[in-house]
Amino acid sequence: MTAFSGIRVLDLSRVLAGPFCGQMLADFGADVIKVEDVGGDENRKWAPVIDGQSANFLSVNRGKRGMTLNLKSGAGQEILAGLVRKADVVIDSFLPAVAERLGVDDARLRALRPDLVHATISGYGHEGPLAGKPGYDLMLQAFSGMMAMTGERDGGPVRAGASFIDMATGLLAFSGIASALYARQAGKAGGQHIRVSLMETAIALLGYHVPAYTLGGKVPPRDGSGVWHIVPYQAFGTENGHVLAGATNDAAWQRLCAAIGATELAADPALATTTLRIENRDKVISALSAIFATRSTAAWVDALETANVPCAPVNDLAQTLAHPQVAAMKMVLEVATRGGDSLSLVGVPLNLSTTPAVPGGAPPLLGEHTDAILKDDLDLDASRIAALRKEGVI
């Protein structure tokens, strides 16, 4: 038994955030129908395209049934209405004006299904001067201040390597949908409109940086792999790579110095406290950099872990995915394809003891299940389906 068994979801969203939300619902048992324009989700075309399929699309669409539908047509609107009436959840990522034009605004959807849980994902939120502005992950990394605090001190702003604002927004939408379904089931509410945005997610992810500024006036600087308020806590070059090492308190500083043989640093009263090490940051980092350059990453990780010092090797993606801890937590899944092969996809980052995730099959090909959905879910016959295809509705 899965958590969302019996729940039907229409995923009208595109790119990453909404589709990731839909994939999480599918992983936990929901019947998710991915509805795309006849031309397909733009995410299908983003590089790298491997064997005709985009890694971007494959990463967030497993376990779904897929269909195409031209929402700009009258017949397409009729089909959508039929699907909405049978749905528990609708996910969309349209701008407000577009949603109203396509008939997928909350008022229209709720008229079709009053107890619908409707999740809308936007770039900048549903109110304010930027409510109608589209947004992508990188745009919000820039807008939110994250890029300004990311990069080397003497360099320019840098993008985070992963599209984490998109993915986190998808997880927030997932939690909002789960909360709304619970409230509906418990009789605390009927349908609800859930609204999340990349901007709100990004601001929330700033975390402690917000009160550090609002209460202390501190605008976070770029500090490379480190952080301005803990010294040392960053990556250091080794003989063959980099190691992340940190002293998050004064006791850890003494353990770090002992582990690397830095007796003079440990005894230096000018470096004895967190505040003093921040004030003497350049001295600390210079001294530690010279020491860490003398041994391999693995040797330093062994020494630091033995001394109970926070540390980690700075892995590349290949090293990370090959690590036995990643395998133990099943964070790389082998998903069967239609041809009997398999795809290695990202696992499920949420563990439930009684109703665990049961990841579904490979992401749908464009329009793969259109005919079956129209026939089985809406009782359309073959001649009507053929006519719809001829008219460009599907």
Residue with the two structure tokens 């999340």:
196
CA distance 126 to 200: 11
User: What is the pLDDT at residue 275?
Assistant: 96
Catalytic hit among 137, 166, 223, 377: 166
In terms of DSSP H, where are the helices of 322-380? 324-328, 370-376
Q: What average pLDDT does this structure show over 161-166?
A: 97
Q: What average pLDDT does this structure show over 118-138?
A: 96
Per-residue pLDDT tens for 188-203? 989 999 999 999 999 9
Q: What average pLDDT does this structure show over 3-18?
A: 97
Do 70 and 394 meet the contact criterion of CB atoms below 8 Å apart?
yes
Q: Say yes or no to pLDDT of 87 above 90.
A: yes
* Range of lowest pLDDT (65-79, 328-342, 365-379): 328-342
User: What is the pLDDT at residue 330?
Assistant: 96
Tokens encoding 286: 């210079």
Query: 3-state class of 37 per DSSP?
Result: coil
Q: Measuring CA to CA, which residue among 151, 18, 149 is closest to residue 89?
A: 18
Do 261 and 291 meet the contact criterion of CB atoms below 8 Å apart?
yes
Q: Say yes or no to pLDDT of 338 above 90.
A: no
Q: Which segments within the chain are labelled E, that is strand?
A: 8-11, 31-36, 49-50, 53-54, 65-68, 89-92, 117-122, 192-197, 233-237, 242-246, 311-313, 332-336, 342-346
Peptide bond into 48 cis (omega under 30): yes
Q: Say yes or no to pLDDT of 341 above 90.
A: no
Per-residue pLDDT tens for 263-317? 999 999 999 999 999 999 999 999 999 999 999 999 999 999 999 999 999 999 9
Per-residue pLDDT tens for 170-186? 999 999 999 999 999 99
Tokens encoding 359: 């990841």
Query: 3-state class of 192 per DSSP?
Result: strand
pLDDT band, residue 1 (cuts 50/70/90) = confident
Q: What is the mean pLDDT of the chain?
A: 96
Would you give the DSSP letter of residue 48?
A: P
User: What is the pLDDT at residue 339?
Assistant: 81
CA distance 393 to 71: 8
Q: What average pLDDT does this structure show over 48-76?
A: 95
Per-residue pLDDT tens for 209-238? 999 999 999 999 999 999 999 999 999 999
**Is 37 a residue of the active site?**
no
CB atoms under 10 Å from CB of 369, counted, come to 18
What is the percent of the chain where pLDDT is above 90? 97
Q: What average pLDDT does this structure show over 140-146?
A: 98
8-11 and 89-92 beta bridge pairing: parallel
Residue with the two structure tokens 């995730």:
357
User: What is the pLDDT at residue 52?
Assistant: 87
Q: What average pLDDT does this structure show over 366-382?
A: 97
Per-residue pLDDT tens for 20-44? 999 999 999 999 999 999 999 999 9
Q: What average pLDDT does this structure show over 88-93?
A: 98
Q: How far apart are the first and last CA of the chain?
A: 34
